[in-house]
Amino acid sequence: MKLIFLGSGSAFTVNSSNYHSNMLLIDDTGAKLLIDCGSDARLSLAELGFTYKDIHDVYVSHLHADHVGGLEWLGFSSYFDPDCEKPNLYLHHSLETPLWENVLSGGMSSLQSHMADLSTYFKIHTIHDNEAFFWNKVRLQTVQTLHVMNGFKILPSFGLVFTVNDTKVFITTDTQFSPTQLGDFYEWADIIFQDCETANTMSGVHANYTELLTLTPEIRRKMWLYHYNPGPLPNAKKDGFCGFVVKGQVFGFG
For residue range 209-228, list pLDDT tens digits in order: 999 999 999 999 999 999 99
pLDDT value at residue 14: 82
Distance from first CA to last CA of the chain, Å, rounded?
Answer: 7
In this model, does residue 183 exceed pLDDT 90? yes
What's the whole-number mean pLDDT along residues 56-68?
98
- Domain span at 91: 2-252
Res 229: pLDDT: 96
Give Cα 34 distance to the centre of its chain.
Answer: 8
| 4 has pLDDT over 80 | yes
Mean pLDDT of 41-46: 97
Burial code (b: 16+ CB inside 10 Å, e: under 16) for 116-132 equals: bebeebbebbebeeeee
pLDDT at 113: 81
Q: Residue 170 — very low, low, confident or very high, per pLDDT cuts 50/70/90?
A: very high
| Mean per-residue pLDDT of the chain | 96
Strands 132-135 and 123-127: unpaired
Give the number of domains in the chain. Answer: 1
Q: Look at residue 16 and tell me whether its pLDDT is greater than 90.
A: no
Model pLDDT for residues 113-146, shown as the tens digit of each residue: 889 999 999 999 999 999 999 999 999 999 999 9
Inter-residue contact 172 to 222 (CB < 8 Å): no
Question: DSSP string covering 83-135, please?
Answer: T-PPPEEEEEHHHHHHIIIIIIHHHHSB-SSSB--HHHH-EEEEE-TT-EEEE
Q: Mean pLDDT, to the nearest integer, of 55-82?
A: 98
Q: Residue 254's pLDDT is what? A: 73
Domain harbouring 248, CATH code: 3.60.15.10
Cα dihedral 195→60→68→197 (10° resolution):
0
Q: Which of 15 and 145 is assigned the larger pLDDT?
A: 145
Beta strand 132-135 pairing with 153-154? unpaired
**What does the pLDDT average to over 235-245?**
98
Calculate mean pLDDT across residues 88-110: 97
